Amino acid sequence: MVAPTIPGPDSSPEASDIPLPAGATDCHVHLFGPVDRFPYAEGRGYTPPDAPLEHLIALQERLGLSRAVVVQGNAHGYDNAVLLDALARAPSRLRGVAITDEGVDETELRRWDALGMRALRFHIFAPGKAPGYRRGVGLETLRHFTPALRALGWHAQLWCEWSALEAAMPEVLAAAEGIPLVLDHMCRFDPALGLDHPAFALMTRMLAEGRVWVKLSGAYRCSTRVPDYPDVEPMHRALMAANPDQVVWGSDWPHPQMTEATMPNDGRLLNLALRWTPGEGDRQRLFVDNPARLYGF
CB distance 201 to 208 below 8 Å: no
Which H or E run contains 236? helix 233-242
Half-sphere exposure at residue 123, Cβ-oriented, CA atoms within 13 angstroms: 19
CB distance 106 to 144 below 8 Å: no
Nearest to 122 by CA among 87, 90, 166, 154: 154
- What SS3 state is found at 90? coil
Q: List residues with catalytic annotation.
A: 252
Distance CA 65, CA 273 (A): 13
User: Residue 277 is which amino acid?
Assistant: T
User: Residue 46 is which amino acid?
Assistant: Y
Distance CA 127, CA 164 (A): 8
Nearest to 286 by CA among 229, 239, 247: 247
> Which residues, 6 or more positions from 136, have their beta carbon under 8 angstroms from its beta carbon?
74, 99, 121, 122, 123, 159
Distance CA 148, CA 145 (A): 5
- What SS3 state is found at 245? coil
